[in-house]
Amino acid sequence: MTGNGNRQEHGSGNGNGNRHGHVNGHDTKTVVLQIPRSFLRYYNLPSHIVPVSGPRDATIMDLIRQARLPEVEFGIAAVNGEREYLSYRPKDGQFVELHPILMGG
C-alpha cells in the first residue's frame, strides 16, 4: 500500500477487455460492500451484502455514500484480506469488507 491509499494491484483484470460499464458516456464500476450483519438491526437494509455502482475513480468512501450507508459508522475496510484506507479506489468487481471503527465487547 502506498502512502496515498492507492495500493497497486497484481494482475490486470480477468481478460475480458474493458470491464467497466458506460453510463451517459462515463466509465463506471460495480463494487460489493459487505457490512456487519449486526447493522441490519439498526438500519433498514435488505442485506449485509450491498452491490453499488459508481464512477470508475470512486473511493470506498464515495461508494459508501453512493449506497446511502451510514458513513460515520465505518473506519476500516479490507479488500482481498488487505487493510485499505477509505480513500482507496477499488477496482470493478472487487469485494470490500467494511468494519466499524470501534466494536463493543
**Distance in angstroms (rounded) separating the CA atoms of residues 100 and 75:** 6
Confidence check: pLDDT of 63 > 70: yes
Encode pLDDT of 75-105 as tens digits.
999 998 899 999 999 999 999 999 998 755 5
Encode pLDDT of 1-23 as tens digits.
444 444 333 333 333 333 445 44
Predicted TM-score (pTM) of this structure = 0.72
| Residue 63 CB partners (closer than 8 Å, separation 6+) | 31, 33, 52, 54, 90, 96
Which residue segments constitute the domains of the chain, with CATH numbers given?
A: 25-100 (3.10.20.30)
Contact 69, 34 (CB under 8 A): no
Distance of CA 87 to the CA centre of its chain: 10
Host H or E run for residue 99: strand 95-100
